Structure 1
Amino acid sequence: MVSELINANPIIYEKKERRPRTAPSAPHDEYAVELIDQQEVFDHIRDIKDPEHPYSLEELKVITEEAVEVDDQRNYVRVMFTPTVEHCSMATVIGLCLRVKLMRSLPSRYKVDIRVAPGSHATEAAVNKQLNDKERVAAALENSNLLNMVDDCLAPSYD
C-alpha cells in the first residue's frame, strides 16, 4: 500500500537522453582487454527499477552518471547512490541490485565498490559494510525471496 511507503510521493526526474556509445580505445591485439568507462557503467544501471516505486533509479535520482567512478587501469568501479529519504529501508536492496547488475554486466576483472553517498542515509556505514562484504552479499543472494526481489528490479521495462 502507498500509505506504508517511507517516501510515498518521491520526486520524479526526467531521464537523460541516451548518448551514442563510443567505446574507449584499446590496444588492437589478441590480448587486449575491453575498456570500460563511466557512461557504459551508468548505462548498465540506469534502468534498474526501484523496489518500492514503478520508476527507475535514474528517474528517482538515486543514481547519476556523475556518481559513477571508473579507474580502468586499476580495474575498479565505484557507484555512489543516494536514497530518496534518509531512513530508506530499501537502501541495502538497492545497493544489492546495483552490485548484481554490475557483476552480471562487467568483466570479472573489475572490483566493484557500491556505496551510499556520504550523509544521505541514517545507517550509511552499516549499509556500506554490508554491500561490500563478499560473504554477506553471497548469503543475501542465497535467500530466494531477496534474489527474486533483485531480479524483479533488474528485469527490463518496456515503457
Structure 2
Amino acid sequence: MVSTLINANPIIYEKKERRTRTSPPTTNDDYAVEPIDQLEIFDILRDIKDPEHPYSLEELKVITEDAVEVDDHRSYVRVTFTPTVEHCSMATIIGLCLRVKLMRSLPSRYKVDIRVAPGSHATEAAVNKQLNDKERVAAALENPNLLDMVDECLAPSYN
C-alpha cells in the first residue's frame, strides 16, 4: 500500500454484523426491481480496504451506516465519509474508491454524491470538489497508478 503512514496507530472498531437477505436484490437493466436502501449501500462499501492500513473503511469508522443517504425514487445516493485524521492525504483516494465501487455496483440511473464529513478534513471543500467533478474523476481513473490503487482497495479480502 503506502510506505509512510499518515496515521500510524488508527483506532480499530468492531465490524457490525451483516444483515441477512432473504434474496439478492434484483435488477432489470437500469432499474432495481426492489428499492435500494441505506443498508444495501453500506454493505456494498463496508469492505473497501483503507489505502494505508490492512483494515476496512468500516473497521476504521471512515464509513458508517448512518453516513449513507438514499432516495431510491430520485435515484440519488449520498455517502459522507470521515477520514481518520484531519490532514489525511488519502482522502481523495478513499472518496474515489467509494465512487468507483458504487459506479460498478449500482444501476447507471443513480446520481452519486461523495462528501467528506463537515469539519473532518483540512481541505474539505477541495476534496469534495474533486470527488464530485465528472471530468476530474474520469481523468483520475485514466491514471494507471491511481486505478491500480483503487482496484487494490476494492479487491475482496478473505479474512
Q: TM-score, normalised by structure 2?
A: 0.91
Instruction: Tell me if structure 1 keeps the 8 A contact 2:95–2:131.
Output: yes
Amino acid at match of 2:76: Y
For 2:93, the equivalent position in structure 1 comes to: 93
Runs of at least 4 residues of structure 1 off by over 6 A? Answer: none
**CA-based RMSD:** 2.3
For 1:76, the equivalent position in structure 2 comes to: 76
Which is further off, 14-23 or 58-67? 14-23
What is the rounded CA distance, in whole Å, between the counterparts of 1:126 and 1:32 in structure 2? 33
For 1:110, the equivalent position in structure 2 comes to: 110
CA-CA distance at 1:22 after TM superposition: 5.7
Amino acid at match of 2:104: R
Change (3 A) 1:18 1:33: closer
Give the match's secondary structure for 2:54. Answer: coil
For 1:58, the equivalent position in structure 2 comes to: 58
**What per-residue deviation string (whole Å, max 9, x for no partner) do you get for residues 18-70 of structure 1?**
011367x99xxxx9743210011000000000000000000000000010000
Amino acid at match of 1:67: A
Amino acid at match of 1:139: A
Instruction: Tell me if structure 1 keeps the 8 A contact 2:32–2:107.
Output: no
Write the mapping of 1:24-39 to structure 2, written as runs, cut at 5 A. Answer: 33-34=32-33, 35-39=35-39
Asked if 1:15 is matched to 2:15, the reply is yes
Bigger Rg, which one: 1
Change (3 A) 1:131 1:2: closer
Aligned residues: 155
CA-CA distance at 1:106 after TM superposition: 0.5
Instruction: Tell me if structure 1 keeps the 8 A contact 2:49–2:56.
Output: yes
What is the rounded CA distance, in whole Å, between the counterparts of 1:32 and 1:142 in structure 2? 28
Matched residues, percent identical? 85
**What per-residue deviation string (whole Å, max 9, x for no partner) do you get for residues 75-119 of structure 1?**
000000000000000000000000000000011110000000000
